[in-house]
């Protein structure tokens, strides 16, 4: 079977102000969240998961969800979305003016109970009500398959379990399926295979791939997903991310690292990488901690550094003596 062609354009969907902040011990100021969301939209990010409507006691960093949605300056053509876990959250998201609602269900009961205090069966039953309410509001309704590659409590998850839940989502009328490597346990072979299988089984349903970089395979998994035909990828400014109910589920793939890779590959994103780097700098300054972003730390490829003065003879000439001497010393 011939592999799908690599998409010529990728939509990068940023989740920093939801997934990125939910695991932080420090509460990020609402003013900064609004500034970063608006900055991402100005930089060309067309889909932003701006917040989640969860229990504020469980996820205190999104307790200001209603205020964030009320205060952000909406840019035409940008979709501002939110994560929910139950009917109450979905109603709040609609009232706040979200352009899309994503309900998340884990593949294992133990994690689903830890995450949303429900069994998988209970979440699916409530999804029927959520689907009706969201569709009635005329906005995007998405179903997220959490733990698509593995559970921190039960281990490897069978791929058929992923397809089974995806099928249930399609039967409930979701507009999009989110395939989530929530624990960063995925590998390129598995991610590519699952993306390809979902696209073949449900070609009329859109697909978003959500990738964590917990074990350093984020960009490799993104590449494999694109090779299999995925055209929308989640990422997080600065590489922030993680689940408070999943041990070791550290950062998402960095938005600026993903955009940088696509820029090098000459794949269109419509995103201003330099503007993203400025935003990542503001985030790093606010957190007073290093970000999980290679581009933030090292800069873009091919950026030229000043030539040290001792290596210059004239304006454009370099002396070889110092370099030879250094080689001898080494």
Pairing of strands 47-53, 11-14: parallel
Cβ-count burial of 136 within 10 angstroms (0-12 exposed, 13-18 middle, 19+ buried)? exposed
| pLDDT tens digits for range 189-199 | 999 999 999 99
The residues that bridge with 212 in the sheet, in sequence order, are 252
Q: What is the pLDDT of residue 291?
A: 86
| pLDDT tens digits for range 23-45 | 888 899 999 999 999 999 999 99
Q: How far apart are CA 322 and CA 232, in angstroms?
A: 49
Q: How far apart are CA 94 and CA 79, in angstroms?
A: 13
Q: Would you say residue 327 has pLDDT above 50?
A: no
Q: What percent of the chain has pLDDT over 70?
A: 91
Q: Would you say residue 292 has pLDDT above 90?
A: no
Structural domains in the chain, CATH included, are: 11-305 (3.20.20.70)
The residues that bridge with 84 in the sheet, in sequence order, are 53, 103
pTM above 0.85, yes or no: yes
Q: What is the pLDDT of residue 289?
A: 73
Q: Please, which pLDDT band fits residue 250 given cuts at 50, 70 and 90?
A: low
142 is catalytic: no
Q: How far apart are CA 178 and CA 312, in angstroms?
A: 54
The torsion region of residue 266 among left (phi > 0), alpha (psi -120 to 50) and beta comes to: left
Q: How far apart are CA 61 and CA 63, in angstroms?
A: 6
Q: What is the pLDDT of residue 247?
A: 58
Q: How far apart are CA 325 and CA 330, in angstroms?
A: 9
Q: How far apart are CA 106 and CA 147, in angstroms?
A: 6
Q: Please, which pLDDT band fits residue 251 given cuts at 50, 70 and 90?
A: confident
Phi, psi for 307 (deg, rounded to 5): -75, 130
Cβ-count burial of 6 within 10 angstroms (0-12 exposed, 13-18 middle, 19+ buried)? middle
Catalytic residue among 98, 142, 151, 243: 243
249 touches 28 (CB < 8 A): no
Q: How far apart are CA 244 and CA 24, in angstroms?
A: 9
| pLDDT tens digits for range 124-182 | 999 999 999 999 999 999 999 999 999 989 999 999 999 999 999 999 999 999 999 99
């Amino acid at each position: 079977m011939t592999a799908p062609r690599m998409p010529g354009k990728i939509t990068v969907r940023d989740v920093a102000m939801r997934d990125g902040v939910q695991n932080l011990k420090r509460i990020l100021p609402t003013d900064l969240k609004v500034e970063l969301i608006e900055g991402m939209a100005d930089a060309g990010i067309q889909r932003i998961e701006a917040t989640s409507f969860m229990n504020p006691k469980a996820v205190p960093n999104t307790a200001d969800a209603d205020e964030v949605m009320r205060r952000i300056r909406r840019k035409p053509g940008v979709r501002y979305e939110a994560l929910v876990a139950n009917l109450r959250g979905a109603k709040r998201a609609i009232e706040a003016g979200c352009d899309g609602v994503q309900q998340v269900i884990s593949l294992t009961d133990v994690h689903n109970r830890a995450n949303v205090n429900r069994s998988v069966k209970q979440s699916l039953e409530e999804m029927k009500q959520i689907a009706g309410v969201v569709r009635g509001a005329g906005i995007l309704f998405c179903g997220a398959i959490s733990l698509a590659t593995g559970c921190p409590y039960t281990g490897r998850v069978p791929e058929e379990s992923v397809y089974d839940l995806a099928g249930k989502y399609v039967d409930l009328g979701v507009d999009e399926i989110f395939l989530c490597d929530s624990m960063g346990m995925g590998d390129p072979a598995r991610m590519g295979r699952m993306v390809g299988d979902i696209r073949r089984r449900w070609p009329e349903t859109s697909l978003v791939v959500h990738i964590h970089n917990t074990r350093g395979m984020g960009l490799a998994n993104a590449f494999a997903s694109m090779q299999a035909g995925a055209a929308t990828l989640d990422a997080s400014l600065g590489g922030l991310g993680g689940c408070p109910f999943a041990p070791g589920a550290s950062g998402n793939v960095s938005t600026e690292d993903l955009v940088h890779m696509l820029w090098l590959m000459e794949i269109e994103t419509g995103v201003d990488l330099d503007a993203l780097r400025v935003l990542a700098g503001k985030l790093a300054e606010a957190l007073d901690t290093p970000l999980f972003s290679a581009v933030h730390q090292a800069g873009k490829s091919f950026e030229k550094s000043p030539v040290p003065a001792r290596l210059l003879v004239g304006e454009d000439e370099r002396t070889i003596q110092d370099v030879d001497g250094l080689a001898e010393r080494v």
